[in-house]
Amino acid sequence: MMDRGNGNGRSDLRIGVYVCHCGINIASMVDVKRVAEQAAAMPNVVVARDYKYMCSDPGQEMVQQDIRELNLNRVVVAACTPLLHEPTFRGACERAGLNPFFCHMVNIREHDAWVHEDREKATVKAIDLIRAAVRRVKHHKALERRTVPINPNVLVVGGGIAGIQAALKIASAGRHVYLVERELSIGGHMAKFDKTFPTLDCAACILTPKMSDVKKHPNITLWTYSEVDKVDGYVGNFKATVRRKPRYINEDTCVGCLECIDACVFKEPRFTDEYNEGLSKRKPMHIPFPQAVPQVTAIDPETCLRFKTGKCKSSCVTVCDRNAIDFDQKERIEEINVGAIILSTGFQTFEPKDRLPQYGYGIYDNIYTALEVERLVNSAGPTEGEVVLRDGSKPRAVGIIHCIGSRDTKSNIWCSRVCCMYSLKLAHLLKERTGAEVYNFYIDMRTPGKGYEEFYNKLLEEGVHFIRGKVGAVNDWAITPEEEGRLVIRVEDTLGGFVRRVPVDMVVLSTGLEPHKDAEDVRRKFNISCSPGGFFLERHPKLAPVETASGGIFLAGCCQGPKDIPDTVAQAGAAAAEALALIDKGVVELEPNTAFIDAESCSGCKSCLSLCPYTAISFIEAEKRAEINEALCKGCGTCVAACPSGSIIQNLFEDEEIFSEIAEVLSNG
């Protein structure tokens, strides 16, 4: 290969400038021809070209050919954001034998064409930015990417259907998975459902085999009732600390015979059963649901007499011939090393009580959230699937109100995507179980999915009523004898063009999906970002939907945004594939834009130590100076800016690179 030199001396600097039209994205606001002509006349520029799509194969080939034939040693590409195509053009340079870090991008799309309305000024700005880049690249150095080995284990956080699916895929591929679940059992929201739309197949029948596969799989370490406390490290080499809360039952010896529950001194269940959304009672000794995985009971210390008073004959201990009950069980901390992390922490449903009091939830007994009704129609639920209201009666008419907490600036602005479909499912089940008249109150019916519109049509044929309009209020204000003693739904029927009063005996609020209330803590813990609504942010909405901006951390399921079970399972598969693609490579390439310390001039003031968000800086006592672990450094530049003696230097952001760029961009003023 021809020696292209480092080009640091002005005499042998040979720069190529490439101006992209980006179709009309740039060309409609920037005179790209003129920009290229001007660039051609800049110092050390050997060639300047414009092209309709620089990122296309012919565009890249043009750059590569020029490097070879014109002996270029610097490349400036004026196009879109480097976030999108920096890897593209660095790759092109590399293939032509040029160190990829001699390539620099100028963003004349997002920073110029898309944000201006004056073509002349936008053109001048593009020229200014390119002139600055031309001067900057002079100072670029040849840099090498470092490779580090990858830990092949994967951590999956959250054991709903997303986490279960991802864990099983990775485990089946022969990699070890740590599946960490906050609750007592895996299964998530899906385990609470009776049927799934649009096929009406039984949720338990399709989910529980997967749950038990997780438990049985030799490659899966399952930790329920556990939470990730802390995550250190970087892509390929994370270190996670997991806190395993005490359930006061030894998981290794308990066989799930449930005799301890029968033996509990509370003969009748007396305490709110969280799993059944408070619709039933449980004992202090309990298991969330019959198919729970692991099939292990737990003691609630808040209600257990032994914990509350110290005085209890503890008949649970007597009946347990496995000696699995351990009142002294303590919280355990596990430290694990993994190469990739999949977050599948799910969602919470909108709480209508204080946030939308006009719908009467918490004021009137017979108003339910959809999740409560899921338990009510579930054969493993509090009434074994019989639909009985809180007052013991059966409803003659049911109103299902869509979009509770969704599609409204006063609650959540987004569509929760699943509510129309689960409302249809519940309408079908309620009609089937009670014979009641069922009314759906909807703003728009949203049924985009395979078999979804067909399901909607089926419901129409079944005689379920659909009233288009946003419900104003639900209360017990009766005007007519028919309304007396019932709940009255008031709504503007926007197809009929009048206000309706619909008396019913039961109201179902189709509550939307929103981020967990502690999603912000989780975000910070894993150093990722959130979208404006608070769901975790993917790296690119179209092209990197399961990756995050933090390498090695992937997303699956509703923690990234509301979605139904088919989409969740598909996304979980994608996240598993991404994680496998990462770890199966064996090594990870780290970008060289890291900081390093000039040992000679470091005064040992320690200012930088506490500032580093990645704990990449340590202090060498013997030499009284700081040192940066390049493998941990993410190149954020915080220490560089803070160093009082200017002893910290960052690759690709060296002072002379930045100052020359600033000087040139301002020289036109």
Partner 1 sequence: MQYSYYPGCSLKGSGRAYEESVLAVFDHLGIELKEIDDWNCCGATAYMSVDERRSFALAARNLAISERDMPESPMVVPCSGCYVTLNKTCHVVKDYPAIKDDVTKALDRAGLKWKNQVPVRHPLDVLMQDVGLDRIKEAVVKPLKGLKIAPYYGCQIVRPYAEFDHQIHPTSMDRMFEALGATVVHYPLKTKCCGGSMTGTAPEVGLRLVYLLLKEAAKREADLMATVCPLCQFNLDAFAKEAARAYGPVNMPVIYFTQLLGLAMGLSEEKLGLQRNIISAKNALKGAAAAAAR
Q: Give residues in contact with partner 1 (CB under 8 A).
A: 357-358, 363, 473, 475-477, 479
In the complex, minimum distance from the CB of residue 400 to partner 1, in angstroms, rounded to a whole number:
21
**Which candidate, 216, 177, 178, 210, places its Cα nearest to that of 191?**
210
In the complex, minimum distance from the CB of residue 506 to partner 1, in angstroms, rounded to a whole number:
18
- Residue 298 in tokens: 């737990």
Dihedral sign for Cα atoms in the order 335, 336, 339, 344 = negative
313: enclosing H helix or E strand: none
In this structure, are strands 506-511 and 498-504 parallel, antiparallel, or unpaired? unpaired
Give the C-alpha separation, 504 to 483, whole Å: 8
Half-sphere exposure of 333 (CA within 13 A, CB side): 6
In the complex, minimum distance from the CB of residue 350 to partner 1, in angstroms, rounded to a whole number:
16
Q: Are 24 and 113 in contact (CB under 8 A)?
A: no
In this structure, are strands 506-511 and 367-369 parallel, antiparallel, or unpaired? parallel
Give the C-alpha separation, 195 to 211, whole Å: 17
138: enclosing H helix or E strand: none
In the complex, minimum distance from the CB of residue 408 to partner 1, in angstroms, rounded to a whole number:
13
In the complex, minimum distance from the CB of residue 128 to partner 1, in angstroms, rounded to a whole number:
33
Between 37 and 476, name the residue whose CB sits nearer to partner 1. Answer: 476
**Which candidate, 650, 605, 645, 648, places its Cα nearest to that of 624?**
605
Between 334 and 476, name the residue whose CB sits nearer to partner 1. Answer: 476
Between 473 and 666, name the residue whose CB sits nearer to partner 1. Answer: 473
In the complex, minimum distance from the CB of residue 534 to partner 1, in angstroms, rounded to a whole number:
23
Residue with tokens 């990122």: 55
Between 488 and 579, name the residue whose CB sits nearer to partner 1. Answer: 488
Between 360 and 552, name the residue whose CB sits nearer to partner 1. Answer: 360
Give Cβ neighbours of residue 87 (< 8 Å, ≥ 6 apart).
Answer: none
In the complex, minimum distance from the CB of residue 363 to partner 1, in angstroms, rounded to a whole number:
8
In the complex, minimum distance from the CB of residue 477 to partner 1, in angstroms, rounded to a whole number:
5
- Residue 574 in tokens: 């994608």
Give the C-alpha separation, 64 to 58, whole Å: 10
Residue with tokens 């409803």: 395
Q: Are 74 and 17 in contact (CB under 8 A)?
A: no
Between 361 and 452, name the residue whose CB sits nearer to partner 1. Answer: 361
| DSSP code per residue over 524-556 | HHTT--B-TTSSBPPSBTTTBSSB-SSTTEEE-
Between 357 and 613, name the residue whose CB sits nearer to partner 1. Answer: 357
In the complex, minimum distance from the CB of residue 84 to partner 1, in angstroms, rounded to a whole number:
37
Between 410 and 542, name the residue whose CB sits nearer to partner 1. Answer: 410
Between 231 and 356, name the residue whose CB sits nearer to partner 1. Answer: 356
Q: Are 136 and 103 in contact (CB under 8 A)?
A: no
**Residue 550 main-chain phi, psi, to 5 deg:** -90, 120
Buried b (16+ CB within 10 A) or exposed e, 324-341: bbbeebeeeebebebbbb
Between 199 and 358, name the residue whose CB sits nearer to partner 1. Answer: 358
Between 333 and 473, name the residue whose CB sits nearer to partner 1. Answer: 473
Instruction: Give the amino acid at 310.
Output: G
In the complex, minimum distance from the CB of residue 134 to partner 1, in angstroms, rounded to a whole number:
43
In the complex, minimum distance from the CB of residue 262 to partner 1, in angstroms, rounded to a whole number:
42
In the complex, minimum distance from the CB of residue 412 to partner 1, in angstroms, rounded to a whole number:
17
**Which candidate, 76, 93, 64, 68, places its Cα nearest to that of 20?**
76
In the complex, minimum distance from the CB of residue 410 to partner 1, in angstroms, rounded to a whole number:
9
Between 97 and 357, name the residue whose CB sits nearer to partner 1. Answer: 357
Between 24 and 363, name the residue whose CB sits nearer to partner 1. Answer: 363
Between 477 and 659, name the residue whose CB sits nearer to partner 1. Answer: 477
Give the C-alpha separation, 86 to 390, whole Å: 61
Give the C-alpha separation, 346 to 370, whole Å: 17
Q: Three-state SS for 471? A: strand
In Å, how far are 92, 403, 483 from 504, measured between CA atoms?
Answer: 68, 19, 8
In the complex, minimum distance from the CB of residue 492 to partner 1, in angstroms, rounded to a whole number:
15
Q: Are 35 and 29 in contact (CB under 8 A)?
A: no
Q: Are 132 and 666 in contact (CB under 8 A)?
A: no
For the chain, the first-to-last Cα distance in angstroms comes to 42
In the complex, minimum distance from the CB of residue 394 to partner 1, in angstroms, rounded to a whole number:
25
400: enclosing H helix or E strand: strand 397-404
Residue with tokens 């390929």: 236
**Residue 562 main-chain phi, psi, to 5 deg:** -60, 135
Between 358 and 379, name the residue whose CB sits nearer to partner 1. Answer: 358
